[in-house]
Amino acid sequence: MKTALLASTLYVALIGAAYSQQESLSADQKRDIEAIAMKYFEDINAGEAEKAASIFKSDGMLVGLTGRIVRGRAIPEYLAKVHQLGVHAAVNVENVEGVANGKAAILTGSFTATFSNAPEVRGTLVQLYENEGAVWKLRASIGSRFAPPSP
């Protein structure tokens, strides 16, 4: 519960920042960020945990589907474990918008993940990227699964 609350708070903060400091990104910057997100999922699917984790800042973090927060050097190990579950994940990027005077960007979209021995999971993806010179690095990635419908 505490982890879900933290993730929800971070999500609201990210979205709030987007609306309060919205800055436009060039079409090229948006395409670059979208390509990074697509490559991230391709690398996870291929079992390339180190490659997938390399897009994160050294102090980056992700919130996995269980609500677990993973930080920094623990990210490659976590992604390797996800791959071992037989994951195949796909993302549909819906929006990329600039924040913090164009020094950061928020990507939002949806994802689908299938596993070898588990039901399909669908959800929302929110990623915060920061511009480090000519390179976009992932500061935070939050995957929130859709709740099953109530009976």
CB distance 49 to 79 below 8 Å: yes
| Stretch among 117-121, 129-133, 136-140 having the lowest mean pLDDT | 117-121
Rounded to two decimals, the pTM is 0.81
Number of structural domains (the chain) is 1
pLDDT of the residue at 16:
52
Q: What is the CATH number of the domain that holds 140?
A: 3.10.450.50
Q: Quick one: pLDDT band at residue 148, thresholds 50, 70, 90?
A: low
pLDDT of the residue at 14:
53
Alpha-carbon distance of 42 to 36, in angstroms, equals 10
For residue 150, tell me if it sits in a domain.
no
| Stretch among 13-22, 36-45, 126-135 having the lowest mean pLDDT | 13-22
For residue 105, tell me if it sits in a domain.
yes
Q: In the chain, what percentage of residues exceed pLDDT 90?
A: 63
Bridging pattern class, strands 56-63 and 135-145: parallel
